Each structure stands twice: as C-alpha cells, then as structure tokens.
Amino acid sequence: MAMHTMLIDKPPDAGKKTSRQPMHQDLHYFPVRPADRIICAWTAMEDIDRSNGCLAVLPGTHKGTLKQHDYPEWEGGVNKLFHGICDFDPKTPRLYLVMEKGDTVLFHPLLIHGSGMNRTAGFRKAISCHYASADCNYIDVKGTIQEGIEKEVVEVAEKNYGTKTNEMKNRWVFRSRFIQSMRATII
C-alpha cells in the first residue's frame, strides 16, 4: 500500500533555524504495524548536500524500538508537527547522505534521521514515499507513546479540512492506496 507521500520543498532558512528537521523516527507518525513491513523511498529531486539540508542518519538504529517524541527544545523555534526524539543526544555522530538528483535511499521507519538547515538561497526538493505491505494492520494508539501525535494530527486536520473525527485510523485508511503490481523477470 502507498501510505504517505510528500513533496519536501525545504525553504532557505530565514535566520530562524526553522528549515531543519529534528532527529526522529517516521514510525512515530504511523499507526501501522509491523514496522518491518514498512519502507520509505526518499528521492532527491536535485543535488543535495549539507549546505541545503541533506538527510542525516544514525546507521543501525532501525534495529531499536520506537522512542518517545515531542517538540525539541530548540532556540529559534520549531515547525508544527516536526517532532524529535526526546532523549536524543545532539553529540551523537551522524552519517550525512550527500545525494545527486535522482538518487534514492530506502530506509526502515525506525531509522533515526533528520536534516539540517537549508543555508542556500534556493529551495531543496525531495520526494518521500512510504509503503507498507498489504498485510499490515492499523493499531489503536490510545495509551501508547503515539497517543499525543494522534491528537495533534486530528486537530490539524480538523482545522485545515473542517472534518470532525477523533480517529487517526480513519485518516490513514482514506489516504492509503493499494498498488497493483506483477512479478517480472529482468533479462
């Protein structure tokens, strides 16, 4: 199933440091399990490096568990719904993914990753697509560390779209699409 697709159009930072994305795990935003049957395909639409806010990852963290997320205590502010890992040590070494236009990286929803500020004059563009196996299930996040993000996502959706529902599951079911495919032998 295609679960979530984003065009990321990271603006040049206006001096408020709001173009950065805190270190996080994508699974924080998804009420879908099992995590091992979800993948992100992140594609650079132009050359991406540290100057325009490339991805920074912590290799091997996909083998861990979902961590508690909330808004980071950053000077200069944060963006709505840009949660980060609560106990993240900013001194943790990162691997920076310098990519050329068209390069794609695939990663697990538990991989800890984020991105820095865009220090250039132009927008940095990428496409992020999350896919889940058709045998994944939606979970009730009530009473879990994901309950807070569910509430916030529902509030934003109600404000932006005027819909009244308190179940994030309904939003994901609506947004998810099955993808038809066939196995092929490549010659």
- pTM equals 0.87
In Å, how far from its chain's centre is CA 43? 13
Beta pairing partners, 56: 96, 114
Residue 81, amino acid: L
One digit per residue, the tens of pLDDT, for the chain of length 187 reads 888 899 999 999 988 888 899 999 999 999 999 999 999 999 999 999 999 999 999 999 999 999 999 998 877 767 778 899 999 998 999 999 999 999 999 999 999 999 999 999 999 999 999 999 988 998 999 999 999 998 888 888 788 877 665 555 665 665 565 666 555 454 4
Hey, what domains does the chain have and what are their CATH numbers?
2-175 (2.60.120.620)
Note the helical H segments in 70-146.
Answer: none
Residue 110, amino acid: L
Residue 174 to residue 4: CA distance in whole angstroms: 11
| DSSP state letters, 14-41 | -SSSTT-EEEE-GGGG--EE-GGGEEEE
